[in-house]
Structure 1
Amino acid sequence: MPQAVRLHEYGGPEVLKIEQVPQPTPAAGQVVVRVKAAGINPGEASIRKGVFKDTWPSSFPSGQGSDFAGVIEMVGEGVSHLQAGAEVIGFTHDRASHAEFVVVPHDQVTPRPAGVPWEAAGALFVAGTTAYAAVNAVDVQDGDTVVISGASGGVGTIAVQLARLRGARVLGIASPARAEWLTAHGAEPVPYGDGLLERLQATAGGPVDAFIDTRGQGYVKLAVDLGVPTQRIDTIIDFAAAQEYGVKTEGNAVGGRTEVLAELAGLIAAGQLEVPIARTFPLEQVQDAYRELERGHTFGKIVLTPGEG
C-alpha cells in the first residue's frame, strides 16, 4: 500500500506520521499523480499547530500539503487531454500532496516543461503564486523602487525576481549571508535589524513606491513609516497589521490558479526565474523537514521527495 503523511491531532512536527493508505483511484474528471516532489510551507506548519483552527479547522485524521509535481498514474472518465505517464506540476486543496500519490481534478495540473527541475516544480505552487499575487497587488511598474521583506525566503526569492522582470528596482531585506544571491539576481540587499528604517532610506535615496511583506514582525508599520502609500503595501502574513493600517493581504488565495502556475513554470524553463532549493528530504523524514523549516531563515524552499527514502 502507498504511504502518506497523516496527523491525528494538533501539535509539533512529532504529530506527523507516515501511514499506509489505500491506493487512490480517480473519479470522473480526476487524475492520480505519483508524486516526485512536494514543497513544504510555513502555513502548513501553522495549520498543524492549530494556529488557524477557527478559520481552517482540521478533520482528523488529516493529510498535509498543497504543492506537488509528478507523473500521472491514472486518469478518470472524461479526461482526454492527459494520459498516464505525463509529467505535471499541480496543487491540491485537500491537504494531500505529502504522499506517494495524490488525486486531484484534471484542471489542477499543468504540464511540466522540459528544463524545470522536479524539486523546483514540486515547490512552485504556494510560494510562486503567492509571490505573483503580491507583486500584482502592489502594482509593480518599470522604474519603481520596491522593498521586499524576507527576500531570501520561499516567497521572497520569487517576488524579488518577478519584480525585477517588471523593471523595478528591488531592495531586499535579508540576512547578510544572502547578500550575494540577491545581488546576483539584480536586487540591492539591506540587512535586517536595528536601524533598518534608516538603512532603507539611505539605500533608496528617495521615495519607496511599494512594499511586499513576507515576514510579519512589524514590517507593515515599517512600510508606512517609509511613506509607502497603503494601497501599494501587501502583506501575506500579518493580517492584524493589515487591518490596523488598511493595507492589502493578497497572496495564494488570489494567485493560486493553474494558469499562473503554468506561467511561472514557463519562466523557469526560459531561464528567467529560479526557485532556490534549501534542502530535500525523503517522505519518511517529514518531521525533520518541518523542524528545519521552523528554525526560520530558510533560504528558498524545503522539498519532500516521496519514493526516495
Structure 2
Amino acid sequence: MKAARFSRFGGPEVLEIVDLPDPHPGAGEIRIAVRAAGVNASDWKKRQGLMDQELPQTMGYEAAGVVDEIGDGVEEVALGDRVFGFGGDGAAQAERAVLSAWARIPASLDFAGAAALPSSVETAARALDQLGVRGGGTLLISGASGSVGSAAVQLAVARGARVIGTGSPATHDRLRALGAEPVAYGEGMAERVRALAPNGVDLALDVAGSGILPELIDLTGSADEVITVADFAGAQRHGVRFSRGDAGRAVYALGQVADLVEAGRFTLPVGRTFALTDVAEAHRVGESGQVRGKLVLLV
C-alpha cells in the first residue's frame, strides 16, 4: 500500500510516499480502506523531531474509510461499513489503516468531513471531562474558533453549559451559530468577558495557547478551574492542568459526536483537502496557518 512517511527530521520536504506492507488488525481492531485522513499540528511536530525520535516514521492518527478486515472479538461492525476513528499505530495517512477506536459515519457526512473529527473531538471531550463541564455552569473557551475550540463549544453546549468563546471579530457569527457568546480576544478580553458574566466564569479552557492563563485564573478565581491543551510551559508556570491523553482518551466521544451530527447539533468544517501525494503541501499550508478549518488528505 502507499503511505506517507519520513526517514529524517526536517521540513515538509522530508515527507515521501512509499510502498509498505498492508497492515492487519489485531484483536479488538478493524482495518479500513482509507478514503480520507486528517492532518494535525502533531504531524509536523512529529516530522520536526519534537516527539518520537525513532526513524523512519509513518504519519497520521485519524482516518475515515470502509471496513475491509475485522480483528478477533469485534462484532459491532461489518465488512463494507463506513467508519471513522483513530489509527493506533500512527499510520493513518495511507491507503489502508488499522483503527483501534471508531464509530459509524453519519449518513449526512462524507469521508473528508468524518476524517476531520476524531482528534479535535477527542481532545475537546477529554478536556471538558477533566474540567467537569456539565449543565448549569459557565465555561470560557479561549480560542473557540479553531477545530478543537469549535468542537469544545458544541460538546459543552450539548452538556447544557453556557459557553463564552474568544475569537477574532470575523469568527463571531460562526461562534454564535455554534451556541457560544463571542468576545474578541486581545487586550481587554477579561473586561469584555465580565461584561457578559459580571461574577466571572465557573471554568475555563485554553485552546489557543496565547499566554492568557493568568487572565483565565482571575476570571475563574482558581487555577484548579482552568485547563489548557496548548500551553505546557504556561501550565507549569501558573499551576494549571495540562490536558494530555496518557491519563485516558475520550474515545467514547466518537459515537456521541456521530449522533450529534445526525441531529444537526454538531459541525466541523473542512478547510481544504489534498491528495495523499500532496502531503508535504498540506504540512506547508497547515504550518502557515493560512486556512481556517481542518486539513484533510483524500486517498
Q: Who is 2:57 aligned against? A: 62
1:41 aligns with 2:26: no
Q: Who is 1:83 aligned against? A: 78
- Partners of 1:139 and 1:232 within 8 A in 2: no
Q: Who is 2:11 aligned against? A: 12
> Per-residue deviation at 1:195?
2.5
Q: 1:84 to 1:125 in 2, by over 3 A?
A: same
In structure 2, what is the Cα distance between the partners aligned to 1:102 and 1:43?
Answer: 18
**1:160-309 → structure 2 map (5 Å cutoff):** 160-254=153-247, 256-296=249-289, 298-306=291-299
- Partners of 1:134 and 1:250 within 8 A in 2: yes
Q: Who is 1:92 aligned against? A: 87
Alignment RMSD (CA, Å): 2.1
> Per-residue deviation at 1:218?
0.8
Q: Where in structure 1 are there 5+ consecutive unaligned residues?
A: none
Q: Scaled by the length of structure 1, what TM-score is found? A: 0.88
- Partners of 1:132 and 1:255 within 8 A in 2: no
Moved more, 40-49 or 3-12: 40-49
Q: 1:187 to 1:79 in 2, by over 3 A?
A: closer
In structure 1, what is the Cα distance between the partners aligned to 2:166 and 2:42?
Answer: 21
1:74 aligns with 2:73: no
Residues 135-169 of structure 1: CA distance to partner in whole angstroms, max 9, x if unpaired? 12222233322211111111000101112222322
Number of residue pairs matched? 299
Q: 1:130 to 1:80 in 2, by over 3 A?
A: closer
Residues 80-119 of structure 1: CA distance to partner in whole angstroms, max 9, x if unpaired? 55432121112123210011111245xx233223223322
> Per-residue deviation at 1:27?
4.8
> Per-residue deviation at 1:225?
2.9
In structure 2, what is the Cα distance between the partners aligned to 1:24 and 1:131?
Answer: 29
- Counterpart secondary structure, 2:266: coil
1:124 aligns with 2:117: yes
Moved more, 66-75 or 77-86: 77-86
- Partners of 1:137 and 1:248 within 8 A in 2: no
Q: Who is 2:129 aligned against? A: 136
- Partners of 1:157 and 1:300 within 8 A in 2: no
- Partners of 2:36 and 2:63 within 8 A in 1: yes
In structure 2, what is the Cα distance between the partners aligned to 1:109 and 1:222?
Answer: 37
Q: Where in structure 2 are there 5+ consecutive unaligned residues?
A: none
> Per-residue deviation at 1:33?
0.9
Residues 191-234 of structure 1: CA distance to partner in whole angstroms, max 9, x if unpaired? 22223233223333331111101121212222123244222211
Amino acid at match of 2:23: P
Q: 1:227 to 1:77 in 2, by over 3 A?
A: closer
- Counterpart secondary structure, 1:152: coil
In structure 2, what is the Cα distance between the partners aligned to 1:142 and 1:259?
Answer: 19
- Partners of 1:67 and 1:92 within 8 A in 2: yes
